[in-house]
Copies of this chain bind each other. A is one copy, B any other.
C-alpha cells in the first residue's frame, strides 16, 4: 500500500471548491431543519430548499437522509464537547468550572440548534450516537470526574459526586438552549433583550458555584 495509505475513514478526495461550498450549505440547512423537526420530521426537500438546491442534487452529495444527519451530529458533538475537554486539572477549580459553564451558556445562546439537535437525539434513545456515548464520551467524563474528585480530595470543592455535578452543569446549560421557547413564554418580553443571557449566566453560576464551594 504505497500509493495510498489506508486511513481510519474515507480519504483522498481533495473536495473541489464547489463541493465544499455545497456540502457546507447542506449541513447548515440540515442543522436548522433537524433541530426544528427532528430526524423523522425533517424532509430532504426542505433541507435541499434551504440549501438552495434540488433534492437529487443534495443526494448527489450525501447518499441518504441518515448520512446527512450523522454528519451534522458528529460535527456538532465534537464542537459541543470542546470546552469540557479543556477543563484544566491544574487550574483553580471554581475558576475552571466558571469558565466552562460560561462557555457552554454562550454556546447555548449562539447556537441553540446544535443543542436541540443533540437533545433530540438523546431523548429518542440516541439511536445514532449510542456507541459514541458509551466509548468516547464515557472516557472523557471518567477522566474529568477523576479531576473533580481530586479537587474535592484537596478540599478545593465541597464533597460532591463528580458525575452528578457534571450532569447538573449539562442540564442547566442545555436548558437555556433547548427550552428557550418555554423560557421566552414564561418571562415574556425581557427574554430577547441584550443582557438577558448575562443575567442567566450570573444566576446559574451563583447557584452552582456557591453550591460546590468548600464549606
Which A residues are within 8 Å of any B CB, using their own CB?
A: 36-41, 116, 119-120, 122-126, 130, 133-134, 137-138, 141, 158, 160-161, 163-165, 167-168, 170-172, 174-176, 178-179, 181-183, 185-188, 199-200, 203-204, 206-213, 215
Contact = CB atoms under 8 A, between A and B. Distances in A.
Nearest to A187: B163
B204 A164 contact: yes
A122 B163 CA distance: 26
Contacts of A211: 206-212
11 contacts: A37-B124, A41-B41, A119-B119, A122-B178, A122-B182, A158-B206, A158-B210, A164-B199, A165-B203, A211-B211, A211-B212
Nearest to A191: B163
A36 B125 contact: yes
B178 A170 contact: no
Main SS of chain A's interface residues?
helix
Given A171-B174, A208-B211, A116 B126 contact: no
